[in-house]
Amino acid sequence: MSAVVVVGSVNVDFFVKVTRLPSPGETVLGGEHWRAQGGKGANQAVAARRVGADVALVGAIGSDDLGSSALAALNSEAIDTRWLKTIEGHTTGVALIMVDAAGENLIAVASGANARLDPVDVEDAIDALRPSVVLANLEVPDASVIAAARSAARAGATFVLNPAPYRPLSAELLSLVGVLTPNEHEAAGLLGRDGGPWDDLYELLSERGSKQLVVTLGDRGALMLSAHGGTRLPAQPVRAIDTTGAGDAFNGVLAASLAEGMGTEESVRQAVAAGTLATLQRGARAGMPTRSELLDFLKKVPVG
């Protein structure tokens, strides 16, 4: 049994460090550049695995050198990659990322093989593994996300959906979501207006069947909303180096904590801490904490 199955993208990230992010049509000369492993699905799988969950990743890579390097990196993290398909004749997904002096970023993604993830492969993996938690994101086709949600329901698993990058969600998909984890931009898209209050979004989603809403607030932590009310879980202030992957760290650790049997509030608290730690090193995965690093950090974070 795999406690967490992640359904999502596998990319290779290409970074450029800039003093400030450019406006449309503007060129900003950058300094250092580097390459790192990425993709929301792969990042979230790594985050969950590093804090101790048994993790399988369902996704697709291309038949190229980037795909080989991505697979090797995931295997080095002891993630179950048996369900990661190589799509012959296609390229592995690529993300182009600019990071400014404050650690904020702009990202553009070429999906490559991610766009060819087969829903049947998703169903086969979850039906075979019968995990406790299924975590999915929107860097793969809608049909594959729906397949993940339906299969999670059959397995009796909690379905966690990170609706990133934002696009409209079907009524069926929302009805199958156990925990929805948008950031503020994605939450505004779901609500159909520029901003909160997010209580309105929870009421709208709960009418459509969603059970729990967790809005991530960047360096302000997260807001958890359910039928029992709302709870704000603040983040510990740190000097961020690179926010790339912070949301993936949050989602991966949230899924791992839920699979371990923690309550939602404690799971979110751990996820907020993981997202914070992920900003302390550059690249999407470098700062994702191990279990011991996360627990040591949590000891220093005030509760309540």
Active site (catalytic) residues: 248
- Residue identified by tokens 């002891």 is 78
The tokens for 295 are 């627990």
Angle, helix 119-129 to helix 142-155, in steps of 10 degrees: 20
Can you tell me which residue has the tokens 């191990």?
Answer: 290
Q: Which helix H or strand E contains 232, and what residues bound it? A: strand 229-233
d(CA 152, CA 78): 23
The residues pairing with 215 across neighbouring beta strands, listed in sequence order, are 223
Alpha helices by DSSP H, listed for 164-290, are 171-176, 184-191, 198-207, 246-259, 264-278
Residue type, 3: A
Give the burial class of 86: count Cβ atoms within 10 A of its Cβ; 0-12 exposed, 13-18 middle, 19 or more buried.
Answer: middle
DSSP, collapsed to helix, strand or coil, labels residue 205 as helix
- Across the beta sheet with 11-17, the strand order is 33-38, 11-17, 93-99, 105-110
Query: Rounded to the nearest 5°, which phi and psi values hold at 158?
Result: -75, 130
If 0-12 CB within 10 Å is exposed, 13-18 middle and 19+ buried, where does residue 229 land? exposed
Do residues 47 and 251 touch, judged by C-beta distance below 8 A? Answer: yes
SS3 112: helix
Long-range contacts of 190-197 (CB under 8 A, 24+ apart): 190/163, 190/166
